[in-house]
Structure 1
Amino acid sequence: MWVLNNVASLSGDPNQRLTSWFLRALISRAANVCPTATMHHFDGSSAIDRRRQMTVTELAGYVDLIPWHTFGFCASNSAIFKAIRGCSKVHVLDFSVTHCVQWPTLIDALAKRPEGPPSLRITVPSVRPPVPPFLNVSCEEVGQRLSNFARFRDVEFEFNIIGGYFESLLTSLVDPHQLSSLFRDDEVIVVNCQNWLRSMPDDDEEQSAGSSLRDDFLHTIMGLNPAIVVVVDEDADLNVSSLTTRITNCFNYLWIPFDALETFLPKDSAQRIEYESDVGHKIENVISHEGCQRMERLESGAKLCQRMKNVGFSGVMFCEETVKEVKSLLDEHASGWGMKRDEEMLVLTWKGHNSVFATAWVPGGLGEN
């Protein structure tokens, strides 16, 4: 770690900046294992508070900085729009870490629907995984802002919040009676999972023991008979018990945002340093923590697809219109970003390397494969 400290810099090239955050994560893990052996005098002078809270305006800029989030928003909204065509009442159960930034675009598209917009309900958990980005306004205020926008676009809208601490909420969400009570008989149900499933405990040790809260959650979703389930997440395999494998997979994946930010932001950009600090939060969680403290339990898109099939879902292919919309979005960003189709997935790539996957699913054998 002392050697790494001599070559790693938070203000250096992308590899140095990435290495600096891995050094911090290793030091944090060493502190957890043996506090008296921790090194305190590494280069931490420009450390950022990784739990900083953003304004709504700052959050909008955050998600637009690179297409890490907006890729999933665009693919998901297009698939949802197609799935609810002709429906008069729609209820979206939204599991996301980005505070409903996704939905104004969908509301705007529904307002322009030839047959007129449906009535729209969105239900969100009152608590979310303790991962960036953090917002300085409450769920209630987010809902009020959405309601105001929907009213401006003449879309009948209702916003609901389901409560509870995160750990108890996860358990309650696999209770089919508690979840199904949220819905009304005449509604079409849409389930949106953006960077959410990764926070449900489900690693190698738990799977070998025959327990999986993640699968239980998906079985409950299946029981709601949704019109569509959209799952978007980062395409990396960090859901393993082996620390060595996690470190290797994490390093081979998270160079992407550091490299992408290098293409258009100067080394001393505050916006860049803050974004990288959020990636550093992820690195530290993957490497430093175990058990319930490790929230970052990503599985690859291929593994997620197999999980969905094992539960009983069928994949829905993204239509050409969706592909066109996503490509148009990527044209607004650096030339290194691209997109490819990989079986059931649309995959965001950076210089040919997978970064984020988007998938769409329906219960049973209703998918278009």
Structure 2
Amino acid sequence: MLGSLHSSSSSDTDNNNSGCKNNGGGEAAAVAAAAPSTRDLLLACADLLQRGDLPAARRAAEIVLSAASPRGDAADRLAYHFARALALRVDAKAGRVFVGAGVARPASSGAYLAFNQIAPFLRFAHLTANQAILEAVDGARRVHILDLDAVHGVQWPPLLQAIAERADPALGPPEVRITGAGADRDTLIRTGNRLRAFARSIHLPFHFTPLLLSCATTPHVAGTSTAGGAAATTASSEAPGLELHPDETLAVNCVMFLHNLGGHDELAAFLKWVKAMSPAVVTIAEREAGSGSGGGGSGADHINDLPRRVGVAMDHYSAVFEALEATVPPGSRERLAVEQEVLGREIEAAVGPSGGRWWRGIERWGGAARCAGFAARPLSAFAVSQARLLLRLHYPSEGYLVQEARGACFLGWQMRPLLSVSAWQS
């Protein structure tokens, strides 16, 4: 496998140190010791790309691609997807491609749903965020959920079911309105149709409004001004603006959304815009880079340091690929689809021109939320125990771990945090 390209045995090293000038074993050990690892080649490719040496960067990516495979072991598959992502970026910079390099393209509904089945990340984020929303809107007669990345809407049926079941029999269920934002009009329309059909089946008064966003920007709020700056661009004219009603209890759902924003100023503007709407709760779910890799804590983002960004992303996704290797049968077509359409595209975006913000970590997101005037809304003990139950029932692997810390709930693999969910109130 790729990880063994730079290894050498102790006997080779001993022979090399024996002083024999023509010892073939010693020469082999020296060559092996000098051979760069796959990770070194990928980081070198990123460095060459950053310095503008596109031919050399392309050659480095091709070396890895020639040895890696999307159907190999976890290390091979990881190397393949990073090499491919870097090659795409080289080609884009050289003007040889393109459409959307460095932009996360939506996966097909089949791949998205398969990811939801074979890995706990999306379910964990949705379940934990839903519990925070359910507790924040308890007792409200009109509920409005602004979902900034609605995708296929799989987060919402369990919440709608829970709201209907908790309704006071004397009053009947509350009215629920979801404004689902996204970049693809047809996907949003299909999502709205599915959610309406589900709500009818449980007799829940329900409305869904699609909100088209371009470049992951904040929409225009009907009757109000937007936050200003880079974040204050408008939604597509094909969908109505975001409407706020004073008698509604508002929840703003930011699951895998904040990392799309352009930088500190745009993030601050976005959170200021959300704060102005006085939501009862804001839920945030984002990837974690893990301690010691530059993802959280204080200091600069290093977003323009491509080798550093590639290294951090490789650390994160190596754990994700290892988890899938350990929990999904070899040769699984579902895993192949997930890694190509979901994880592969995430990796393309992560190493793209504006893809470095996802590894900020909860410290950065939490710090930005506090600066915007939000206070942490601690997750309930029930929310945390429910997340642990999810893993035991649906993803029974000893490698996954749920931990509560710093006011957030973390999902990790083998002690490496991979995703955090937190809730905030104005």
TM-score by length of structure 2 reads 0.71
**Aligned equivalent of 2:309:** 246
Kept in 2, the 8 Å contact 1:97–1:196? The answer is no
CA–CA distance in structure 2, aligned partners of residues 253 and 11 of structure 1: 20
CA drift at 1:175: 9.6
1:20-77, CA deviations, whole angstroms, 9 ceiling, x for partnerless residues? 11211222233234468x9xxxxxxxxxxx866335xx64333122111000111111
Kept in 1, the 8 Å contact 2:149–2:255? The answer is yes
Does residue 32 of the first structure (1) align with residue 80 of the second (2)?
no
Task: Give the letter for the 2:410 counterpart.
Answer: V
CA drift at 1:117: 2.5
Residues 106 and 177 of structure 1, relative CA distance in 2, 3 Å threshold: same
Residues 171 and 101 of structure 1, relative CA distance in 2, 3 Å threshold: closer
Task: Give the letter for the 2:87 counterpart.
Answer: I
Kept in 2, the 8 Å contact 1:175–1:220? The answer is no
CA drift at 1:341: 1.2
Query: Which runs of structure 2 are paired with 1:302-321 in the superposition (5 Å)?
Result: 302-321=363-382
CA–CA distance in structure 2, aligned partners of residues 351 and 148 of structure 1: 40
CA–CA distance in structure 1, aligned partners of residues 246 and 302 of structure 2: 37
**Aligned equivalent of 1:198:** 259
**Aligned equivalent of 2:17:** none
CA drift at 1:269: 1.8
Structure 1 residue corresponding to 2:423, chosen from 335, 355, 360: 360
Kept in 1, the 8 Å contact 2:150–2:181? The answer is no
Structure 2 residue corresponding to 1:84, chosen from 118, 137, 153: 137
SS in 2 for 1:312: coil
**Aligned equivalent of 2:275:** 222
**Aligned equivalent of 1:131:** none
SS in 1 for 2:225: helix
CA–CA distance in structure 2, aligned partners of residues 147 and 321 of structure 1: 28
SS in 1 for 2:173: coil
Residues 248 and 168 of structure 1, relative CA distance in 2, 3 Å threshold: closer
**Aligned equivalent of 2:176:** 120
CA–CA distance in structure 2, aligned partners of residues 11 and 168 of structure 1: 32
- Deviating more after overlay: 66-75 vs 329-338: 329-338
SS in 1 for 2:370: helix
Kept in 2, the 8 Å contact 1:349–1:356? The answer is yes
Task: Give the letter for the 1:362 counterpart.
Answer: Q
CA RMSD of aligned residues (A): 2.7
Task: Give the letter for the 1:14 counterpart.
Answer: A
Does residue 330 of the first structure (1) align with residue 395 of the second (2)?
no
Does residue 267 of the first structure (1) align with residue 327 of the second (2)?
no
TM-score by length of structure 1 reads 0.81
Structure 1, unpaired ranges of 5+: 39-49, 129-134, 364-369
Kept in 2, the 8 Å contact 1:305–1:344? The answer is no
Task: Give the letter for the 2:225 counterpart.
Answer: H
1:329-352, CA deviations, whole angstroms, 9 ceiling, x for partnerless residues? 011202211111121210001111
Kept in 2, the 8 Å contact 1:123–1:162? The answer is yes
Percent identity reads 25
**Aligned equivalent of 2:72:** 12
CA drift at 1:143: 1.1
Task: Give the letter for the 2:385 counterpart.
Answer: K
SS in 2 for 1:138: helix
CA–CA distance in structure 2, aligned partners of residues 14 and 101 of structure 1: 28
1:312-368, CA deviations, whole angstroms, 9 ceiling, x for partnerless residues? 1100111111111111101120221111112121000111110110000001xxxxx
Task: Give the letter for the 1:28 counterpart.
Answer: L
CA–CA distance in structure 2, aligned partners of residues 239 and 185 of structure 1: 41
Task: Give the letter for the 2:408 counterpart.
Answer: M
**Aligned equivalent of 2:292:** none
Structure 1 residue corresponding to 2:108, chosen from 36, 39, 53: 53
CA drift at 1:223: 0.7
Kept in 2, the 8 Å contact 1:107–1:150? The answer is yes
Task: Give the letter for the 2:89 counterpart.
Answer: R
SS in 2 for 1:154: coil
CA drift at 1:167: 3.4
Kept in 1, the 8 Å contact 2:402–2:409? The answer is yes
Residues 340 and 176 of structure 1, relative CA distance in 2, 3 Å threshold: farther
CA–CA distance in structure 1, aligned partners of residues 379 and 107 of structure 2: 36
SS in 1 for 2:199: helix
Larger Rg: 2
Query: Which runs of structure 2 are paired with 1:138-177 in the superposition (5 Å)?
Result: 138-163=187-212, 165-167=213-215, 169-170=217-218, 172=220, 176-177=224-225
1:185-235, CA deviations, whole angstroms, 9 ceiling, x for partnerless residues? 211111011101111111xxxx4xxxx222111101101111100011111
**Aligned equivalent of 1:348:** 411
Residues 34 and 234 of structure 1, relative CA distance in 2, 3 Å threshold: same
**Aligned equivalent of 2:162:** 109
Pick 1 or 2: higher relative contact order, CA cutoff 8 A, min separation 6. 1
Residues 285 and 353 of structure 1, relative CA distance in 2, 3 Å threshold: same
CA–CA distance in structure 2, aligned partners of residues 175 and 3 of structure 1: 56
CA drift at 1:162: 2.5
Kept in 1, the 8 Å contact 2:116–2:122? The answer is yes
